A and B are shown apart, each in its own frame.
Chain A
């Protein structure tokens, strides 16, 4: 049944895998940062700050990713903006997924009860301190499930970059197919590789979600603080 000499293709496959991971990391990190900025803009009380963010989100949520990829890679060339496949591919993923992530972040931030901000302010915490130590950690809990879904979705969507020969897994698959004419075998194997990437990733994210929801100390600082607290509480009760 397997007639493709896979050992001959281990190198391109490995390259494809690395590129897929590269696009995923670049795309997700960029989208998360841009999405957070958009979400914060959306929560501003200034209309002129809110509006561009809302406009952006609505525009990019309502056009297909493939159209964005073609516009950045093929379209922008005609106005003198020439990008390589890596830049164009990563940028497309960023602008597209930022729109979705901004919606998730916005609802997560808005989902943190207003009393939290008030009580932090009443305790004399600064606006920035309130945001970083009170609002963000709670918004993270709310945002994780949706964010995780989109991270896995983004990884799978990197396969659309085959259309601009981005050298990721799907592009390699296409090359191997044209070499061997064994489309079924090649694409089934490639699908299995995607599954092998996505399934552990989503399981790991679920695990993280549960940890965060349970309030587990994920930073070294918090772990140390809780360790000290345990020691203090134990010693003071015996004294």
Chain B
């Protein structure tokens, strides 16, 4: 499937992936990410990934590549294996069989992890969960600081500074000293995004980031993700927000029955779906723009 996308818009520079994905402000005034397909190197390259739970095949020979600066949305009905696929990227789930490369380095081959330091590897792959999973015993800012200090061995002052910047960037710096249970879902999810960004990951994985949120919080979180897109962050997003996926994605992959049955630009997949399953799925989403 080709990644050509019609349309104009500002050219995204080839080095669209920032060396430092943690600027004080997201300054790009452009309304949406570049419509040019990113030409950067593959940040994630998965081939032949299979995974089964208790003998039931949930992912069947998946190939997926995410290039630097690219935003890929994974759509599909529940139980289609989207979340499992995402969780295989940072090996929270262990594939039965796959070849996985991250930033050109092999991390999984055949049926076992080949990267020596799994913890270090995971720092390069940020993950945002449906249910936030903030650390409830720590304040928002400590949530952002913890892994910086304990995993990335950043100094306390540096970690705090990064945390303050990131909390400001996602618009929850006024809640920095609040505990998760004192925050709204939208605030918690934005703290979780800041927490993931703090490790300067090469790619950010979103596992249904707005599924547990009310409409207001959903808007807040989507605004933050949009801001990251403008900045050129590489992202893979499992979502049910079809309009959002259309707006933000460079590419949409549609999963069904453990296979990517269709992928391409949002226009190709959402406006002119070739597969019956995709058509049926989209028909069930009102306002998806079909």
A188 within 8 A of B: no
Complex CA–CA separation, A118 to B131 (angstroms): 12
A225 CB contacts on chain B under 8 angstroms = 142, 145, 156, 160
Chain B residue, CB-CB nearest to A129: B150
A232 close to B119 (CB less than 8 A): no
Range of interface residues on B (Cβ < 8 Å): 35 or more
B195 CB contacts on chain A under 8 angstroms = 123
A82 within 8 A of B: no
A118 close to B92 (CB less than 8 A): yes
A134 close to B135 (CB less than 8 A): yes
A149 within 8 A of B: no
Give chain B interface residues in 172-217, CB to chain A under 8 Å: 173, 176-177, 179, 192, 195-196, 199
A121, A137, A222: the one contacting B92 at CB < 8 Å is: A121
Interface string of A58-78 (1 = CB under 8 A from B): 000000000000000000000
B275 within 8 A of A: no
Complex CA–CA separation, A138 to B143 (angstroms): 14
B120 CB contacts on chain A under 8 angstroms = 124
B119 close to A125 (CB less than 8 A): yes
Shortest distance from the beta carbon of B245 to any chain A beta carbon, whole Å = 22
Q: Which of B121-129, B232-240, B250-258 contacts A (4 or more CB under 8 A)?
A: B121-129
A137 CB contacts on chain B under 8 angstroms = 137
B123 CB contacts on chain A under 8 angstroms = 123-124
B135 CB contacts on chain A under 8 angstroms = 116, 119-120, 134, 138
A196 within 8 A of B: no
Complex CA–CA separation, A232 to B164 (angstroms): 8
Shortest distance from the beta carbon of B125 to any chain A beta carbon, whole Å = 8
A118 CB contacts on chain B under 8 angstroms = 92, 129, 133
A134 CB contacts on chain B under 8 angstroms = 135, 146
B122 close to A124 (CB less than 8 A): yes
Complex CA–CA separation, A233 to B136 (angstroms): 21
Shortest distance from the beta carbon of B116 to any chain A beta carbon, whole Å = 13
Shortest distance from the beta carbon of A142 to any chain B beta carbon, whole Å = 11
B141 close to A120 (CB less than 8 A): no
B151 CB contacts on chain A under 8 angstroms = 123-126, 129
Our count of residue pairs bridging A and B at CB distance below 8 angstroms stands at: 102
Complex CA–CA separation, A138 to B138 (angstroms): 10
Complex CA–CA separation, A225 to B120 (angstroms): 24
A226 within 8 A of B: yes
Q: How many residues of chain A are within 8 Å of chain B by beta carbon?
A: 29
A215 within 8 A of B: yes
Candidate in B122, B127, B137, B145 with the most chain A CB atoms within 10 angstroms: B137
B133 close to A229 (CB less than 8 A): no
A122 within 8 A of B: yes
A123 CB contacts on chain B under 8 angstroms = 122-123, 127, 146-147, 151, 195-196, 199
Complex CA–CA separation, A89 to B267 (angstroms): 77
B168 CB contacts on chain A under 8 angstroms = 236
Interface string of B155-175 (1 = CB under 8 A from A): 011001101100010000100
B146 close to A133 (CB less than 8 A): yes
Chain B residue, CB-CB nearest to A141: B137
B14 within 8 A of A: no
Give chain B interface residues in 77-124, CB to chain A under 8 Å: 90, 92, 119-123
A228 close to B156 (CB less than 8 A): yes
Interface string of A107-137 (1 = CB under 8 A from B): 0000001011011111111100100011001
Complex CA–CA separation, A230 to B140 (angstroms): 12
Shortest distance from the beta carbon of A132 to any chain B beta carbon, whole Å = 9
Interface string of A209-239 (1 = CB under 8 A from B): 0000001000000100110111011001100
A116 CB contacts on chain B under 8 angstroms = 133, 135
Complex CA–CA separation, A122 to B121 (angstroms): 9
B142 close to A226 (CB less than 8 A): yes
Give chain A interface residues in 180-223, CB to chain B under 8 Å: 215, 222
B142 close to A122 (CB less than 8 A): no
B125 CB contacts on chain A under 8 angstroms = 122
B150 close to A229 (CB less than 8 A): no
Known contacts: A226-B142, A229-B177. The answer to whether A138 contacts B137 by CB under 8 A is yes
Complex CA–CA separation, A237 to B108 (angstroms): 45
Q: Which residues of B contact A (CB under 8 A)?
A: 90, 92, 119-123, 125-127, 129, 131, 133-139, 141-142, 145-147, 150-152, 156-157, 160-161, 163-164, 168, 173, 176-177, 179, 192, 195-196, 199
Leading 6 A-B pairs by shortest Cβ distance: A124-B123, A123-B147, A119-B133, A115-B133, A124-B151, A122-B127
6 extra interchain contacts, Cβ-Cβ under 8 A, other than A133-B150, A237-B173? A121-B119, A122-B125, A124-B121, A222-B142, A233-B141, A233-B173
